[in-house]
Amino acid sequence: MISIRIEKLTKKFGNTVALNQLDLTIEQGELFFLLGPSGCGKTTLLRSIAGFYIPEEGKIFFGDDDVTRLAPHKRNTGMMFQSYALWPHMTVAQNVAFGLEERKVPKAELKTRVAEALASVRMEAYAERKPNQLSGGQQQRVALARALVIRPRCLLLDEPLSNLDAKLRLEMRTEIRRVCKEFNLTTVYVTHDQKEALSVSDRMAILENGRILQVGTPREVYCRPARKTVANFIGETNFITGTVLGLEGDRAVVETAIGRFEGMLGDAAVRPTVGAVVTISIRPECWKLGRQTSERNSIAGRIGEAVYMGEVAQYDFVASADGSSLKIYELNPRYLGTASGMELHATVEAEDVVVLVG
pLDDT tens digits along 296-327: 899 999 998 889 899 999 999 999 999 999 99
Instruction: Give the per-residue pLDDT at 340.
Output: 64
| Nearest partner of 267 among 136, 194, 205, 357, judged by Cα | 357
- Residue 184 sits in the same domain as residue 256: no
- Which of 228, 261, 276 is the C-terminal boundary of a domain? 228
- Residue 242 sits in the same domain as residue 215: no
- Residue 338 sits in the same domain as residue 295: yes
Per-chain mean pLDDT for the chain? 92
- Which of 228, 253, 268 is the C-terminal boundary of a domain? 228
Q: How many domains does the chain have?
A: 2
Domain that holds residue 273: 236-356
Q: Which residues pair with 22 in a beta bridge?
A: 9
- Residue 248 sits in the same domain as residue 200: no
**Is pLDDT of 83 > 80?**
no
- 107-120 vs 92-102: helix crossing angle, rounded to 10: 130
DSSP 8-state class, residue 64:
T
> What is the CA angle 273-279-281, rounded to 5?
130
How far is the CA of 182 from the CAs of 1, 30, 141, 169, 339, in angstroms?
12, 12, 15, 20, 51
Instruction: Give the per-residue pLDDT at 338.
Output: 64
Q: Is the CB of residue 160 less than 8 Å from the CB of residue 82?
A: yes
Q: How far apart are CA 11 and CA 233, in angstroms?
A: 24
Q: How far apart are CA 160 and CA 51, in angstroms?
A: 19
Of 29-33, 86-90, 179-183, 300-304, the range with the highest mean pLDDT is 29-33
Looking at the whole model, is its pTM more than 0.95?
Answer: no
- Residue 158 sits in the same domain as residue 293: no
| Nearest partner of 68 among 9, 139, 129, judged by Cα | 9
**Is pLDDT of 191 > 70?**
yes
- Residue 157 sits in the same domain as residue 278: no
- Residue 220 sits in the same domain as residue 75: yes
Q: How does DSSP assign 325-337, residue by residue?
A: EEEEEEES-SSTT
Per residue, the 3-state secondary structure of 86-108, as one string, reads CCCCCCHHHHHHHHHHHCCCCHH
Element (H, E) at 60: strand 57-62
- Residue 200 sits in the same domain as residue 304: no
Query: What CATH number should be reported for the domain holding residue 215?
Result: 3.40.50.300
- Residue 243 sits in the same domain as residue 314: yes
Across 25-48, average pLDDT: 95
- Residue 123 sits in the same domain as residue 268: no
Query: What CATH number should be reported for the domain holding residue 296?
Result: 2.40.50.100
- Residue 184 sits in the same domain as residue 258: no
Element (H, E) at 165: none
How far is the CA of 294 from the CAs of 251, 283, 342, in angstroms?
18, 19, 18
